[in-house]
Amino acid sequence: MADSSTRDVQKVTDVIHQLKMIRNGDKVLVCLSGGKDSLSLLHILRHYQQRCNKARSLEPSLFDPGSAEFNPRPLIEYCRKLNIDYFYEEQDIIGAAMKTPGLRSICAFCSRMKRGRLAAAAQFHGWNVLAMGQHLDDLAESFFIAAFQNGNLSTMKAQYTTKDNQLRVIRPLIMVREKALRHFAEEKKLPVVAENCQLASIKQQNDIVSNNCCPQELIFPDLFNSLRSALKPLLLVDSAHTSEMRTQAVQNIVNSS
């Protein structure tokens, strides 16, 4: 019988195949934050590239946002040990956030700025695919935030093409639980950079999934399998345009009912 890590890798490769996330000749930039999720993603995609030989290149990105609590440099040595090229950039995003009046969320600002920088780097260097490490728990949290705070029926998308049609963003880990990735990283002894952002404790306190779903999972052990099925019509939306996203989501729900 296959072990849990093998099954989780298979879940990822199945999603990649089913949704055609990686195609012949793709140049893939992997967002490497140093957390267990992104390191697991790099490890799995590297394995996938070696076996399937579809991607022309696979390169991790290392981004220093200017926080004294975060040092991504140990990841450089890890990439060298793997004998893979990497992209490294520094930008004082935290400093820019502190100077922005009326900012509601530094985390959202930092995330948005990093995505912008990665998109610009991808276009400049010729990468056409950006791989991100969000997992099923992240999708569930995105769904509940959209419902609770904005009254929207939405979540993160499995993949989509940016509005300028220059970059395809993929999330190969969407069917994998966060706890499975933690186990995978421990089993493979991945060099995880500890969660040391100064805002991490605030984010943890406001974690909708941890505070609401995890207790419910004790009552409903199959909760996340149910959420996976319920979210599928939403995550299969592939448009970057808000109006088209909503139309596609409704149509997907109709088609799946």
Any idea where the domains of the chain sit in the sequence?
4-255
User: How much is the pLDDT for 249?
Assistant: 60
CA–CA gap between residue 61 and residue 56 (Å, rounded):
16
Q: Which residues pair with 31 in a beta bridge?
A: 61
Q: What is the pTM of this model?
A: 0.82
pLDDT value at residue 213: 64
Instruction: Note the residue count of the chain.
Output: 257
Which pLDDT score, from 0 to 100, does residue 243 have? Answer: 59
Q: How far is CA 205 from CA 142, 178, 210, 212, in A?
A: 16, 17, 9, 11
> Which residues partner with 89 through β-bridges?
63
168-170 sheet: strands from edge to edge: 87-90, 57-64, 27-31, 129-131, 168-170, 159-161
Dihedral angle computed from the Cα positions of residues 137, 236, 157 and 43, in that order, rounded to the nearest 10 degrees: 70
Q: Which residue has the tokens 């992997």?
A: 30
Q: Contact, 79 vs 60, CB < 8 A?
A: yes
Task: Report pLDDT for 256.
Answer: 66
Measured between alpha carbons, how far is 116 from 206 in angstroms, rounded to an integer? 25
Give 165: exposed, middle or buried? Use CB within 10 Å, 0-12, 13-18, 19+: exposed
Residues of the chain with pLDDT under 50: 1-2, 200-202, 204-206
Question: How much is the pLDDT for 181?
Answer: 94
Q: Which CATH fold topology does 4-255 show?
A: Rossmann fold (3.40.50)
Q: In sequence order, what DSSP letters do the residues of 147-167 get, joined into one string?
A: IIII-------SEEE-TTSS-
Contact partners, residue 4, CB within 8 Å, separation at least 6:
180, 183
Q: Are 209 and 137 in contact (CB under 8 A)?
A: yes
- 168-170 and 159-161 as β-strands: parallel, antiparallel, unpaired? antiparallel
| Residue type at position 100 | T
pLDDT tens digits along 46-90: 989 888 877 788 899 887 776 666 777 888 999 999 999 988 888
Q: What are phi and psi of 32, to 5 degrees?
A: -110, 100
